[in-house]
């Protein structure tokens, strides 16, 4: 590990500590002049991570912090190009690049395994954050602006445009977002959490450019910053960059940005507000009870609160969650349930959704009565121990499959750093767990915490959020009235200014910047080969594939079963079977007892399917059913026994539990639409390509959500339907038990012999199995033009084209084409000019589909036209080799993105299971690197034709007439 005791002379060394559970050493430094903090997490990991965080404290809901986050990345002093952030995405081998706006901080993180690339990105990020140009036109593009519907025609309607404006219209279409903002508005009546840091669409147009500049000058200053780094680069090397590029140019800022504590209530508060809905259902209210707790920087309080929250709500056996799941007052526990500890002061929330408006006080009483009962009766000691076990699991696990592992650690300590807390203590949970283990020996410890933190806490807010079918219409009308009023007051000069700004912005968006001023990596920096993973295949009771990986004392296990042939009904309910299998009881244990066992010995058990079309025929499948878990090595036998019980002896008699699960699943799937609308739209557009794409949409797309809603409604009124469904589950289960089985185990090499010995003892209950008829789906080959209407203020558009797959030579150029079209045309047309939050194109190699998409889009037909216009641009424009190289780098970067040690091994196993050899993948990599512009034009001309086109849109009911005119088949969710 790099020696980090050396540091730059401009910094003072504060302290350091080695954290054994994470195998990292954490160093804390302070810049002598500005007071900027530097937290460095030294590791042997070569994926280096950088983040600069700034405390940003809005005093209204105009979205100033969020709009700044976007605008500072639009050009800086040393890099005065229009869009260095998105340009660097193309010129980089980064494993992560983004920016975040939280309730009280803004952060700019990136990660890369390539040292040259890391330094390039560091240069750009430092300059962007601290020396941003903040051009007024960029504020107009990213934040908000007035524009005529026909930009040069002042007689046309006036409109609001802007990327953040439309992003927040999409975000605030989510009922969960509305619920969260409503809760915090009342829970924190006098500080920054009272406001929507992302910006309320009704308030964003009130933000002026001068307001933006004033906020930047006070908040984007090193005195208000924390630099956080992870990896094998030395602290002194990093600090040299910080000092030379930024810190030497600043003095200490006199003003200290703080978040005052919330004004406390002396008695509970009850409020009611509304959310936009398409249906006026009586039982569609959300009721949440929330308490404000102590400061998150007090680690003792924080982990006490986390332990308490987990004891009450972690799983279905937890006392409060059990009552909420079983209550007839609502359909499912609220997604808000749990502890929020990222703000300065923590909050604890719980509640129900799908509640009748008249039952709001009953929900509150149910929660209070349950907590009172837990205080009186206590909590079983093994349940409290199990929650401590879960904390230890989370501390030891090396992540990296969603965010880079180093970034996960940094984000875990960021809020504490922002509020001047002890980041090292925040990362080192072992002493905290040891302290809690002593405290919980007192059986009154948890009951006393409930009494003091919750029941005796008068700062309580009960929020009822009811559906309002007219809210969206009133909101839209208010916006129209506001714009009409503004237009009526416009002078001739102001009218001309709007037209001229639109023209100036269009010119700016179309300008070709000198990219050479930005640093870059090239194809010569791409690693030559794919990594090789060691694996051993062994014949045990069941065939075992073992991957020796550095998992820090954890072991990962998957039971992989060849998916057998299923009838139509069994196929329809396969995802629900997968979801329910590990949530039901097994053998002599009901589902509550199984949930308790899972918490005690493992990180939960999940079941899923792994399906992929074969390389030579998209209508044929490789299909597997997978049961997964993870545990500390010491609990491997217990985890295996649990997995074995779950597959061998599932309880298909727990009918009421099944109803609860369906209701909960429906709730989560409906809530996912506004966040995953582009993915759902692409699934609809691709549903006609083959049997697999059609079935995946029926399972997990808009059709799947519609089917789940219908099933939930039937289960509430027809007892027999639930019994019949369990019968279908039993048939699927019987077929799985007879099918071929194997185990995948990922763990540390020195544990291999012990683990394999335990495998033979535990898994002897299962036979290896044999099967002749494997899972198949009927072939599908059709075009689609479908629109789905739901409660949203924005649209999600998609087009899909059937192409080739497998090792066909056209697959490589099709893969590169998505990034090439996004970089060169779609990003500008859809995001910058169109105002959508995102848009692009991608190739789905699993089904051979090329797909366009837009995300949180204010437009509809115009975006669909832009998809076509990008193909015209491709065919007629003169393209550069540099643009091609950028698109290729993007593909290689995504292919080479590292995961966790366990995730990489599991990925390698399933790639090979589905018949993709390393030699094939390296051949494909070589083809990617050799793609030409002529090949891109050729495959586009060959496959992306109007005759081969399918289209899908997810939008609001206000677009129904437009969609009908465009010839869409329209379905209302």
Angle at CA of residue 158, ends 152 and 162, nearest 5°:
90
Query: 911 CB contacts (<8 Å, ≥6 apart)?
Result: 921
pLDDT of residue 86: 87
- The answer to whether the CB of 662 falls within 8 A of the CB of 647 is no
The full set of domain ranges for the chain reads 269-468, 538-765, 785-972
What is the value of pTM for the model shown? 0.93
Q: Which residues pair with 877 in a beta bridge?
A: none
* CB neighbours of residue 251 within 10 Å: 10
Show the tokens assigned to 554: 């954890």
Task: Classify residue 805 by burial, with Cβ atoms within 10 Å: 0-12, 13-18, 19+.
Answer: buried
Query: 934 CB contacts (<8 Å, ≥6 apart)?
Result: none
Q: How far apart are alpha carbons 125 and 246 in whole angstroms? A: 11
- The answer to whether the CB of 84 falls within 8 A of the CB of 881 is no
Query: 254 CB contacts (<8 Å, ≥6 apart)?
Result: none
Show the tokens assigned to 87: 């340009």
Q: What is the 3-state secondary structure (H, E, C) of 598-610?
A: HHHHCCCEEEEEE
Q: How far apart are alpha carbons 789 and 673 in whole angstroms? A: 11
Element (H, E) at 371: helix 360-377
Which residue has tokens 């604890």?
A: 348
Report which DSSP code applies to 563.
P
Distances (CA, A) of 195 to 57, 58, 63, 161, 259: 10, 7, 9, 22, 13
Report the residue count for the chain.
Answer: 973
- Nearest residue to 416 (alpha-carbon basis) of 108, 180, 197, 104: 104
Q: How far apart are alpha carbons 205 and 166 in whole angstroms? A: 12
- The answer to whether the CB of 221 falls within 8 A of the CB of 33 is no
- Helix pair angle (655-671, 673-685), 10° resolution: 90
Q: How far apart are alpha carbons 920 and 586 in whole angstroms? A: 42
Rg (CA), the chain: 28
pLDDT of residue 123: 96
At residue 232, what are phi and psi to the nearest 5 degrees? -100, 5
- Nearest residue to 851 (alpha-carbon basis) of 876, 825, 812, 822: 822
Instruction: Please indicate whether the domains covering 538-765 and 785-972 agree at the CATH topology level.
Output: yes
Q: How far apart are alpha carbons 130 and 126 in whole angstroms? A: 6
DSSP characters for 182-247?
HHHHHHSSSSGGGS-TT--TTTGGG--HHHHHHHHHHHSSGGGEEEEEEESS-HHHHHHHHHHHTG
Architecture field, domain 785-972: 2-Layer Sandwich (3.30)
Residue 69 bears catalytic tag: yes
- The answer to whether the CB of 334 falls within 8 A of the CB of 352 is yes
Sign of CA dihedral 944, 950, 955, 956: positive
pLDDT of residue 867: 98
- The answer to whether the CB of 51 falls within 8 A of the CB of 107 is yes
Return the CATH class of domain 269-468: alpha beta
Sign of CA dihedral 92, 95, 101, 104: negative
Distances (CA, A) of 546 to 73, 671, 683, 749, 777: 45, 38, 35, 9, 32
Topology of the domain comprising 538-765: Cytochrome Bc1 Complex; Chain A, domain 1 (3.30.830)
28, 47, 69, 397: the active-site residue: 69
Q: How far apart are alpha carbons 528 and 394 in whole angstroms? A: 35
Three-class SS state of 306: helix
Kindly give the parts of the chain with pLDDT less than 70: 1-5
Q: How far apart are alpha carbons 263 and 629 in whole angstroms? A: 44
Three-class SS state of 497: helix
Q: How far apart are alpha carbons 892 and 525 in whole angstroms? A: 11
Show the tokens assigned to 645: 């019980």
Query: 728 CB contacts (<8 Å, ≥6 apart)?
Result: 569, 570, 573, 577
Q: How far apart are alpha carbons 958 and 935 in whole angstroms? A: 41
């Amino acid at each position: 590990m790099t020696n980090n005791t050396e540091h730059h002379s401009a910094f003072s060394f504060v302290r350091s500590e080695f954290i054994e559970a994470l195998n990292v050493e954490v160093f804390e430094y302070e810049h002598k002049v500005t007071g900027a903090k530097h937290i460095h997490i030294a590791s042997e990991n070569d994926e280096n991570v950088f983040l600069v965080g700034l405390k940003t404290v809005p005093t209204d809901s105009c979205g100033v912090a969020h709009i700044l986050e976007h605008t500072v990345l639009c050009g800086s002093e040393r890099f005065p190009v229009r869009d260095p952030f998105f340009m660097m995405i193309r010129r980089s081998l980064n494993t992560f690049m983004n920016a975040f706006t939280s309730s009280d901080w803004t952060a700019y993180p990136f990660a890369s395994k390539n040292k040259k690339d890391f330094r390039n990105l560091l240069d750009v990020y430092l300059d962007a954050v601290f020396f941003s140009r903040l051009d007024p036109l960029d504020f107009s593009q990213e934040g908000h602006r007035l524009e005529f519907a026909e930009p040069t025609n002042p007689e046309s309607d006036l409109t609001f445009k802007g990327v953040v404006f439309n992003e927040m219209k999409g975000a605030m279409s989510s009922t969960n977002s509305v619920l969260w903002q409503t809760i915090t508005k009342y829970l924190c009546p006098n500080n920054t959490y009272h406001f929507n840091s992302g910006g309320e669409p009704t308030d964003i147009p009130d933000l002026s450019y001068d307001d933006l500049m004033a906020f930047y000058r006070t908040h984007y200053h090193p005195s208000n910053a924390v630099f956080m780094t992870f990896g094998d680069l030395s602290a002194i090397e990093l600090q040299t960059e910080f000092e030379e590029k930024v810190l030497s140019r600043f003095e200490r800022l006199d003003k200290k940005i703080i978040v005052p504590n919330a004004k406390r209530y002396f008695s509970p508060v009850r409020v009611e507000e509304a959310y936009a809905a398409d249906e006026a259902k009586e039982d569609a209210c959300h009721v949440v009870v929330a308490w404000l707790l102590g400061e998150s920087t007090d680690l003792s309080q924080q982990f006490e609160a986390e332990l308490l929250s987990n004891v009450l709500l972690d799983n279905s056996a937890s006392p409060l969650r059990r009552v909420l799941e079983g209550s007839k007052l609502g359909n499912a526990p609220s997604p808000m349930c749990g502890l929020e500890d990222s703000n300065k002061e923590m909050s604890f929330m719980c509640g129900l959704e799908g509640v009748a408006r008249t039952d709001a006080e009953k929900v509150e009483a149910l929660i209070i009565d349950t907590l009172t009962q837990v205080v009186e009766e206590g909590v079983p000691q093994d349940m409290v121990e199990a929650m401590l076990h879960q904390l230890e699991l989370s501390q030891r696990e090396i992540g990296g499959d969603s965010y880079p592992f180093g970034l996960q650690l940094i984000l875990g300590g960021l809020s504490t750093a922002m509020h001047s807390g002890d980041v090292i203590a925040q990362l080192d949970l072992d002493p905290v767990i040891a302290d809690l283990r002593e405290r919980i020996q007192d059986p009154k410890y948890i009951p006393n915490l409930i009494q003091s933190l919750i029941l005796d806490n008068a700062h309580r807010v009960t929020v009822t959020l009811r559906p309002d079918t007219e809210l969206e219409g009133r909101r839209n009308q208010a916006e129209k009235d506001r714009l009409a009023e503004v237009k009526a007051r416009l002078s001739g000069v102001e009218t001309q200014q709007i037209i001229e700004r639109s023209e100036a912005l269009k010119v700016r968006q179309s300008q070709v910047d000198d990219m050479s001023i930005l640093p870059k990596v090239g194809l010569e920096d791409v690693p030559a080969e794919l990594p090789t993973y060691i694996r051993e295949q062994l014949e045990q009771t069941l065939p075992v594939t073992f991957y020796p990986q550095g998992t820090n004392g954890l072991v990962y296990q998957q039971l992989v079963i060849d998916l057998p042939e299923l009838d139509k009904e069994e196929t329809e309910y396969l995802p629900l079977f997968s979801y329910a299998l590990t949530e039901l009881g097994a053998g002599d244990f009901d589902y509550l007892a199984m949930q308790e066992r899972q918490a005690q010995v493992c990180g939960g058990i999940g079941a899923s399917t792994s399906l992929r079309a074969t390389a030579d025929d998209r209508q044929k499948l490789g299909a597997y059913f997978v049961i997964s878990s993870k545990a500390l090595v010491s609990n491997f036998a217990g985890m295996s026994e649990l997995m074995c019980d779950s597959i061998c002896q599932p309880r298909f008699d727990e009918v009421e539990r099944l109803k609860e699960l369906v209701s909960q699943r429906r709730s989560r799937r409906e809530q996912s639409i506004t966040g995953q609308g582009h993915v759902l739209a692409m699934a609809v557009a691709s549903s006609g390509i083959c049997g697999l794409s059609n079935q995946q949409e029926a399972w997990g797309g808009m059709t799947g959500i519609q089917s789940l809603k219908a099933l939930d409604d039937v289960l509430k009124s027809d007892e027999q339907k639930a019994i019949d469904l369990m019968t279908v589950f039993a048939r699927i289960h019987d077929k799985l038990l007879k099918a071929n089985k194997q185990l995948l185990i990922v763990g540390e090499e020195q544990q291999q012999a012990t683990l394999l010995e335990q495998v033979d003892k535990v898994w002897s209950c299962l036979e290896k199995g044999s099967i002749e008829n494997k899972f198949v789906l009927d072939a599908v080959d059709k075009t689609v033009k479908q629109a789905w209407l739901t409660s949203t203020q924005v649209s999600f558009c998609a087009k899909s084209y059937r192409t080739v797959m497998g090792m066909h030579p056209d697959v490589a150029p099709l893969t590169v084409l998505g990034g090439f079209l996004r970089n060169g045309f779609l990003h500008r047309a859809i995001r910058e000019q169109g105002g959508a939050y995102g848009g692009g194109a991608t190739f789905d190699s699993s089904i051979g589909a090329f797909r366009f998409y837009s995300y949180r889009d204010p437009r509809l037909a115009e975006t669909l036209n832009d998809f076509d216009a990008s193909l015209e641009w491709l065919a007629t424009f003169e393209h550069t080799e540099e643009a091609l190289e950028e698109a290729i780098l993007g593909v290689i970067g995504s292919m080479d993105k590292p995961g966790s040690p366990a995730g990489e091994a599991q990925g390698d196993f399933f790639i090979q299971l589905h018949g993709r050899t390393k030699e094939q993948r390296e051949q494909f990599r070589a083809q990617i690197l050799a793609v030409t512009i002529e090949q891109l034009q050729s495959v586009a001309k060959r496959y992306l034709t109007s005759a081969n086109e399918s289209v899908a849109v997810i939008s609001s009911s206000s677009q129904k007439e437009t969609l009908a005119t465009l010839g869409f088949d329209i379905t209302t969710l």
